[in-house]
Amino acid sequence: MITAPKNFTQFTQFPFLIGDQMSSQPDSTESVPLPTPESAQINVAAGEPPSSTSSAASSDENINPSLSSDPSQNRPQIPISWPSGGVLTLDWVKNLMSTFDWSSRDLRPSEFPTVLPVEVFDALVLTASKILHKEPNCVPIEPDKDGEVGSSVVVVGDVHGQLHDVLFLLKDSGLPSENRFFVFNGDYVDRGAWGLETFLLLLAWKVFMPQRVFLLRGNHESKYCTSVYGFEKEVLAKYGDSYKGKHVYRKCLGCFEGLPLASIIAGLVYTAHGGVFRNIPATPSKRAKGKKNRKVILSTEPVPLSLGSLEELSKARRTVLNPPWEGPNLIPGDVLWSDPSMKPGLSPNKERGIGLLWGPDCTEDFLKKFSLKLIIRSHEGPDAREKRPGLGGMDEGYTIDHVVPSGKLITVFSAPDYPQFQATEARYKNKGAYIVLKSPNFDTPIFHSFEAITPRPKVNPYYDFEDVIDSDEELDLTMMVESS
């Protein structure tokens, strides 16, 4: 066990998480003044200003090149151990945050097991999975149910393994607390280099505050996406490509299957990663003639698309490695992969090969049908939006896509300067955003945009970002079948 020296705080981007301040942080978790992304332009490992903005490293190993000559002098107390009795505390979760921040800057990926041993990983994922699998497909969130006054709900979009931006978001919004709820809309992993740390950190918050932190599934929490966009290789780089690494990856996939699909906040706000979903009609059938031949012949006649019900959503089978794009269990794929359109009506999402496209009229029908005021979804970053005529760009991290008599449809995207690895020299330089909903009605969104934390530690990508299209628009259905 190596204990951090007294001056350890100078080596972390978020010093309030560690040391004496960590143990004295009040449970109410008031917002603490933080370095803004613009002011955090120092090399936290060496204490020197960067020469240029971080980008993917060349052929070197995934390691921050500015490591101090003796990294042991900067280390927090590692390895992290599972608490006695398995009960997490606020200090334990904060320590996890600061330790992951440090290790992402000062350790090679292959050294990650010295920070979080497989045994601790297993305990965390097992505990979180048990909680998640017990939750319904659509989680009801009632912030004022327990008599809390002045409650708020923070809704977060895609974060895609951008750990340092997630840490900033949590500090900027205020950490989860008794009167501050969080709903994360999925896509915790892939593309960014710290998907594992990001996902495990959010699982820790879920275990610590299961009735205040809600994690929904994104389309990237699947076997197909993680095998294409980097998360699988990230896990194997950190835990090894033998038994331990494969074990960790399988456990993550199992946890993904338990993530709920949607939530409804205060009975007025529907949140999901992609959006709305279709009605699954009972398949008409007829029996072949003859007493001996009783085989059922399914009708192949096309059925017009229509919006589904919350009851149908509640009965969908979400425990699948990859949401199906065909067959009777289409609702998970709709919820995770669908996109809004300015064209009226409901139609197959042919660009993605899975899910739906829905117009403003469908947004109105959905809100009115279920007495809702808002739909908050995610799923589209700046790369996807530049190919969507009629819809706003993602420069500020959010867009208001439909304004209809019953309410609004909003897209929120919480990964700034996305994607982390980009094939073109010109970057999108988008801001990330999160939404705050406040009592008593929780139906008036307050938008908070923020810049990316820079410089990012230099790392190699875990996927071939130059050849993989960034907007998910070329879904390889054949590969999805094989990965299932």
Which positions are catalytic? 220
| Other beta carbons less than 10 A from residue 131's beta carbon | 15
Cα gap 296→178, rounded to integer Å = 54
Beta bridge partners of 169: none
Q: Calculate the dihedral angle through the C-alpha atoms of 358, 364, 367, 372, rounding to the nearest 10 degrees.
A: 130
Smallest CA-to-CA distance from 183 within 262, 98, 243 is with 262
Reduce the secondary structure of the chain to three states and give it as a string: CECCCHHHHHHCCCHHHCCHHHHHCCCCCCCCCCCCCCCCCCECCCCECCCCCCCCCCCCCCCCCCCCCCHHHHCCCECCCCCHHHCCCHHHHHHHHHHHHHHHHHCCHHHHHHCCCHHHHHHHHHHHHHHHHHCCCEEEECCCCCCCCCCEEEEECECCCCHHHHHHHHHHHCCCECCEEEEECCCCCCCCCCHHHHHHHHHHHHHHCCCCEEECCCCCCCHHHHHHCCHHHHHHHHHCCCHHHHHHHHHHHHHHHHCCCEEEECCCEEEECCCCCECCCCCCEEECCCCCCCCEEECCCCCCCCECCHHHHHHCCCCCCCCCCCCCCCHHHHHHHCEECCCCCEEECCCCCCCEEECHHHHHHHHHHCCCCEEEECCCCHHHHCCCCCCCCCCCCEEEEEEECCEEEEEEECCCCCCCCCCCCCCCCCCEEEEEEECCCCCCCEEEEECCCCCCCCCCCCCCCCCCCCCCCCCCHHHHHHHC
| Other beta carbons less than 10 A from residue 178's beta carbon | 14
156, 185 contact by CB (below 8 A): yes
Beta bridge partners of 339: 357
Alpha carbon of residue 235 to chain centroid: 17
Smallest CA-to-CA distance from 106 within 370, 352, 438, 459 is with 459
Q: For CA atoms 91, 94, 99, 100, give the dihedral sign.
A: positive
